[in-house]
Amino acid sequence: MATILGIESSCDETAAAIVVDGRDVRGNVIASQIELHRKYGGVVPEIASRAHIERLDSVVREAMGQARVTPHDIDAIAVTHKPGLIGSLLIGVTAAKTLSWYWGKPLVAVDHVLAHVCSPAIDVDPAPWPAVGLVVSGGHSSLYRVDGFDRIERLGQTIDDAAGEAFDKVATILDLPYPGGPEIDKLARRGDPTAVEFPRTMLGRDSLDFSFSGIKTAVLYHVNGPGKTSGGLENLTDQQIADIAASFQESVVDVLVAKTMRALDQTGLSAVGLSGGVAANSRLRAMLEATCQSRDATLYAAKMGDCMDNAAMIAALGEHKYQRREFATLELDAAAR
């Protein structure tokens, strides 16, 4: 049983967590930068890096305070080293290397997306593998076959926009605040999901890849008129905008659920893990749960608080690497991809 300090700074969340035994989350602090980036309508990398520098120290201290641990109690430091914004990743990696050297504790390098994949397992004992893992976030939409914490195989991924990116871009078209995913989720509740028939891009018959750029363009032209990129929104009523949000969300969710079922068919598995920021979407959770139930598959959805970027998932996956003695050296570098 190990006590792991996790550090996450790959995008616009500065986070630290203390996790014991890969499941017992004793301290968990997430400093969101949403307010800093909102007026720019997206994450500004330079602002993100600077905020990580300013906040990481106190975020780590706070997580350790919540868990009532001292450096002496910590067995290893796990840090996100890829993928993400390179300047942001470097802050976390540099901090983790410094603490590793200063405290004399091993360093563990964690892949952010694989940590999302494993996040539904945090409070499930025994772990829910083997399972199909659907990871949907601002940067990724991928399906995995997960046979263990160290046996994760990618089955498919987006060939253009990620699901969260599509939510964020459509929210911009509808003039909703950043980040758009939660805003569309909220607005869609009073819209009619059948009002507009947006495309559901399924790609090849057996494909487990995703494509969301077509639907984003379809929303753009539906709002502004064919071939036009602006000027249409003011002619729409609030109800029409809510209908567009609901119809867009329905088509993205339809594709995500259909492809996940395709992955179950192809692998013969009967469990699904759902994670990543878009896993917080209420319609996706409900539809995936109902569809899994209808075919006797079990859905393991990351808890709402574990969907967005966090360091508990980094420490949790770090525990498994720690147990396998998969340590990084102080040469560890950050990698954008």
Where on the chain is the footprint of Zn ion (CB under 5 A)? Answer: 137, 309
The answer to whether 151 and 206 are in contact (CB under 8 A) is no
Rounded CA separation 325/102 (Å)? 20
- Residue 4 Cα distances to 67, 139, 166, 283, 307, angstroms: 11, 26, 35, 34, 20
Nearest distance, CB of residue 266 and ligand KG4, angstroms: 25
- Applying CB under 6 A, the site for ligand KG4 has a residue count of 19
**What does 280 bind: ligand KG4, Zn ion, none (CB cut-off 5 to 8 Å by kind)?**
ligand KG4
Among 278, 288, 313, 315, binds ligand KG4 (CB under 6 A): 278
120 binds, among Zn ion, ligand KG4, none (CB under 5 to 8 A by kind): none
Q: Which of 320, 318, 315 is nearest to 6 (CA)?
A: 315
11 binds ligand KG4 (CB under 6 A): yes
Query: Residue 141, interface with ligand KG4 (CB under 6 A)?
Result: no
Report the sign of the C-alpha dihedral through residues 258, 259, 261, 265, in that order.
positive
Candidates 83, 128, 139, 318; binder of ligand KG4 (CB under 6 A) is 139
Distance, in Å, from the CA atom of 310 to the CA atom of 318, rounded to the nearest integer, reads 13
* Under rule CB under 6 A, residue 309 binds ligand KG4: yes
Q: Report helix angle 238-267 to 163-173, nearest 10.
A: 170
Tell me phi and psi for residue 32, to 5 degrees.
Answer: -80, 145
Region near ligand KG4 per CB under 6 A, out of 53-61, 99-107, 219-227, 273-281: 273-281
Q: Which of residues 19 and 280 has its CB atom nearest to ligand KG4 in the complex?
A: 280
By a kind-dependent CB cut-off of 5 to 8 A, residue 278 interacts, out of Zn ion, ligand KG4, none, with: ligand KG4
Residue 294 CB, nearest approach to Zn ion (Å):
29
Kindly report whether the peptide bond that precedes residue 226 is cis, defined as omega within 30 degrees of 0.
no
Query: Which residue ranges make up the site for ligand KG4 (CB under 6 A)?
Result: 11, 137-139, 164, 167-168, 179-182, 185, 276-278, 280-281, 308-309
